[in-house]
Amino acid sequence: MLSRIAESMFWIGRYVERAEDTARILDVQTQLVLEDATVDEDATCRSLLSIMGVEHVEGRADLPLVLDALCYDPASSISIASALAAAREGARRARETLSVPMWEALNTTYRAIPSGQFQAMRAPAIFQWVRERAALVNGTADATTVRDEGWHFLMLGRCVERADMTSRLVASAALAGAGQPWTPTLRASGAYEAFLRAYRGMETERASAEFLLLDRLFPRSVVFALNRAEQCLENVESSQRAGFQNDAQRLLGRMRAELEYRSLSDLMDDLPHQMERVQTTCALATEAVTRRYFAGSEALAWQGVQG
């Protein structure tokens, strides 16, 4: 497969997942600020921006600032608008390998941005719209894409991004302090109903963290996403019989094993640091994938390459 095609498929997977996960996070956090008068808007907005990698904010942080930076502004590298635009750019570069329905799903989604439809929508309608468009793109890809190398790179990008975003959510819950409910975090991950069924309604900080980090059956848990990313790399290089010559596979596998084989108590004692290590691993794995598979592709400045 051409490096250009593989790279585009990888980033389509990442950007669509990033747009969906950002919408999920914003949906829950904005409702929390608007509906609970006891919530400190400035602190919550700063925490939300910190999750997405914005460490310094001048002046007061409020919802309009957060929505502009994380949702509407196409010039912001961490916004939903820029992620959807980058996914469509990746689709344009890989146009000859995409099915017509998948191209149409991505292109139609992107067209809402330059037309002004995207900016005209208000929360929470826009978050619902983004989740529905991401589901349409992912479902169309699932139904119309041949399971060749292009598919494995698409899924690899999706899984790496999912592990990264779930780790950011878990870190934010941990930083909120002991005793704080994890319900918003579970809802932002789309995990609330699945968690209640698995743990029979007993919501605790420990059980919530365990579900989002280590559950092998929930598709948005960190371990599930890392495991699927490993399988994608294994499928790309199925002829390898011993060891791991692929740095990305080694990094992802080691991180998954460290999470699974450490006791939950050890993880809970150092949760923010452990989640930072997951994000670093995802960034390093992306660099390793780029060096190994995309070195010959045309130079393109992808948004948010550092994770």
Positive or negative, the Cα torsion across 19, 166, 285, 96?
A: negative
Q: What is the pLDDT of residues 105-136, one digit of tens each?
A: 999 999 999 999 999 999 889 999 999 999 99
More confident residue, 17 or 179: 17
pLDDT of residue 48: 85
- 48 neighbors 66 (Cβ within 8 angstroms): yes
* Stretch 175-204: mean pLDDT: 82
DSSP label at 243? S
Report whether the peptide linkage leading into residue 124 is cis, meaning its omega lies within 30 degrees of zero.
Answer: yes
Q: Hey, is 113 helix, strand or coil?
A: coil
List helix spans (H) across 237-270. 247-261, 264-269
Output the average pLDDT for the chain: 89
pLDDT of residue 296: 65
pLDDT-based confidence at residue 307 (cuts at 50, 70, 90): very low
pLDDT of residue 303: 65
pLDDT of residue 272: 87
Reply yes or no on whether the pLDDT at 163 is more than 80.
yes
Q: What is the pLDDT of residues 142-154, one digit of tens each?
A: 999 999 999 999 9
- Token readout for 143 is 């139904």
> Percentage of the chain surpassing pLDDT 90?
66
pLDDT-based confidence at residue 33 (cuts at 50, 70, 90): confident
Reply yes or no on whether the pLDDT at 306 is more than 60.
no
Reply yes or no on whether the pLDDT at 227 is more than 70.
yes
pLDDT-based confidence at residue 299 (cuts at 50, 70, 90): low
- 275-301 burial, b for 16+ CB within 10 Å, e for fewer? beebbbbbbbbbbbbbebbbeebeeee
